[in-house]
């Protein structure tokens, strides 16, 4: 049974976090690099108990969990490296000039303050307790209070204990990291509304993310909520590519759609193309591929029930035809793959068809002409990703559609499928609303650190009292903009 952390205990943890923030904002980028690498080492040293516990709680296969553990370790180390390089310090120095009345101005970024992180159900390591949100917030110099996801509470506790051990080993204040548990929504509401919390990170449903966003903006002091809330990740397939590679496209689409039982936020839920021989060949291949998909358990009963209910709701709409589905008997809460078809006219008219069905469920949309494809592109909601399945000639012939799609996504793919998110600087895992609450930021890659920072400028301060990152000698040899020019060296004053 999951223990509910009391509000009194939460108050105490937030008090410790506010005290820890005073400590963290005076740590250097090198201090935080060392801490983050120590967390990575601690997670790497966790034995098979972590994997077997996560497997028992989520039904995710051990191979997938092993890979996700490695990704989580990599996140801590890559974010630590970026922090240490001063990438997010963004140090700016403008020096007084001879014969001018001008101040000595120096600016850099510091943490916002205590951050609440909500663990995600579909990534028990990489997007949960010790995931990228926690790593990036600590990298920014912010204490973290994690609200554990109830679907993998024991896994969450193992990860929390690992981070807590590092806090103790470094002799840092207890409030640098806290872990709260509970199934009640009241716990999350209380955390977000607490006056000392300065930011929130969330990965999950639109309903959950939007509720937290609204709560945060109703506070006396509104705070940012960085919520990643899902996406249908449309694939726009153009004629030349579809006609030449219909069968290959169909196989790629099925593989991406059903990967991990469709439980990825980059699952390509909608395939949009013009009617014709290529479209029909695409459908025929789907009909042969889908029945061969092995159904396995979804993450937990709640996700399975939501998948089944949403699937039934969409299939009950008018102008819907089942293209192919898995027909095996349901065992426990297996997610059975299904692809349906509708017309562009119905997709444009019926907003229900544009809503995410989290799981192995896809809609192929048959357009009669390019004008219908353009209309769909223009009316789409914001997406994490969009894919252009095209030849170079297709791109030249459809710039209006592609330009419309650019306005609707955070990551635009040229061929390939969107599942698989690289943890690198150039990754953008975030998009226009409602896929996220702030399209300017990413929750994957070192740039995730930027979410939890704010600038502060120092005017005419003696060098000895400045932060290390702004001192004349530039002790960490970070890149700084000095009088408008990039500068790696020390200042000769």
Would you please indicate which residues are annotated as catalytic (active-site) residues?
228, 265
Q: Interior CA angle at 305 toward 430 and 216, to 5°?
A: 40
Q: In the chain, count of helices (H) and strands (E)?
A: 15, 17
Only one residue has tokens 């395939």, namely: 271
Q: How far apart are CA 429 and CA 439, in angstroms?
A: 9
Q: How far apart are CA 370 and CA 372, in angstroms?
A: 5
Q: Where are the alpha helices (DSSP H) in 259-328?
A: 277-289, 301-315
CA 21, 193, 306, 412 torsion-angle sign: negative
Q: How far apart are CA 445 and CA 136, in angstroms?
A: 9
Q: Where are the alpha helices (DSSP H) in 323-382?
A: 344-349, 370-379
380: its two tokens:
């789409």
Listed residue (178, 225, 242, 260) closest to 433, CA to CA:
225
Only one residue has tokens 């039982």, namely: 261
Q: How far apart are CA 20 and CA 198, in angstroms?
A: 14
Only one residue has tokens 């509401």, namely: 189
Beta bridge partners of 480: 487
Q: Which residues contact 58 (CB under 8 A, 6 or more apart)?
A: 65, 121, 124, 151, 152, 155, 299, 300
Q: How far apart are CA 418 and CA 426, in angstroms?
A: 15
Q: Which residues contact 122 (CB under 8 A, 6 or more apart)?
A: 260, 263, 264, 265, 299
Listed residue (337, 329, 261) closest to 297, CA to CA:
261
Listed residue (463, 477, 441) closest to 89, CA to CA:
477
């Amino acid at each position: 049974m999951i223990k509910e952390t009391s509000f009194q205990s939460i108050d105490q943890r937030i008090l410790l976090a506010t005290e820890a923030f005073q400590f963290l904002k005076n740590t250097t980028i090198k201090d935080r690099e060392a801490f983050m690498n120590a967390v990575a080492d601690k997670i790497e040293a966790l034995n098979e108990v972590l994997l077997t516990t996560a497997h028992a709680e989520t039904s995710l296969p051990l191979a997938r969990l092993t890979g996700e553990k490695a990704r989580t370790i990599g996140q801590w180390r890559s974010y630590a490296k970026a922090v240490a390089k001063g990438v997010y310090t963004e140090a700016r120095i403008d020096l007084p000039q001879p014969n001018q009345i001008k101040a000595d101005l120096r600016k850099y970024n510091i943490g916002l303050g205590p951050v609440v992180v909500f663990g995600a159900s579909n990534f028990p390591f990489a997007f949960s307790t010790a995931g990228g949100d926690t790593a990036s917030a600590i990298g920014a110099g912010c204490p973290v209070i994690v609200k554990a996801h109830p679907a993998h509470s024991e896994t969450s506790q193992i990860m929390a204990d690992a981070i807590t051990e590092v806090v103790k080993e470094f002799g840092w204040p207890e409030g640098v990291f806290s872990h709260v548990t509970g199934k009640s929504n009241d716990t999350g509401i209380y955390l977000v509304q607490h006056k000392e919390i300065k930011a929130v990170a969330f990965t999950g449903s639109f309903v959950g993310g939007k509720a937290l966003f609204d709560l945060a903006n109703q506070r006396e002091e509104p705070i940012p909520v960085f919520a990643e809330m899902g996406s249908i990740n449309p694939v726009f397939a153009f004629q030349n590519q579809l006609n030449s590679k219909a069968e290959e496209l169909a196989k790629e689409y099925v593989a991406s759609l059903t990967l991990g039982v469709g439980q990825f936020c980059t699952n390509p839920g909608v395939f949009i193309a013009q009617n014709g021989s290529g479209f029909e060949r695409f459908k025929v291949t789907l009909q042969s591929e889908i029945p061969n998909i092995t159904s396995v358990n979804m993450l937990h009963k709640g996700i399975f029930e939501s998948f089944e209910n949403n699937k039934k709701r969409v299939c009950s709409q008018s102008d819907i035809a089942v293209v192919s589905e898995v027909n095996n008997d349901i065992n426990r809460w297996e997610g059975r793959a299904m692809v349906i078809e509708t017309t562009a006219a119905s997709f444009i008219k019926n907003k229900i068809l544009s809503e995410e069905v989290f799981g192995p469920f896809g809609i192929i949309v048959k357009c009669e002409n390019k004008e219908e494809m353009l209309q769909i592109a223009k009316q789409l909601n914001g997406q994490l990703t969009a894919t252009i399945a095209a030849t170079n000639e297709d791109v030249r012939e459809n710039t209006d559609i592609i330009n419309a799609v650019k306005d609707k996504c955070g990551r635009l793919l040229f061929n390939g499928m969107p599942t698989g998110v690289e943890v690198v600087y150039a990754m953008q895992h975030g998009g226009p609303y409602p896929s996220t609450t702030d399209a300017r930021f990413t929750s994957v890659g070192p740039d995730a650190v930027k979410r939890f920072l704010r600038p502060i400028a120092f005017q005419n301060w003696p060098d000895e009292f400045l932060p290390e990152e702004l001192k004349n000698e530039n002790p960490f040899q970070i890149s700084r903009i000095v009088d408008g020019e990039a500068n790696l060296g020390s200042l000769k004053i």
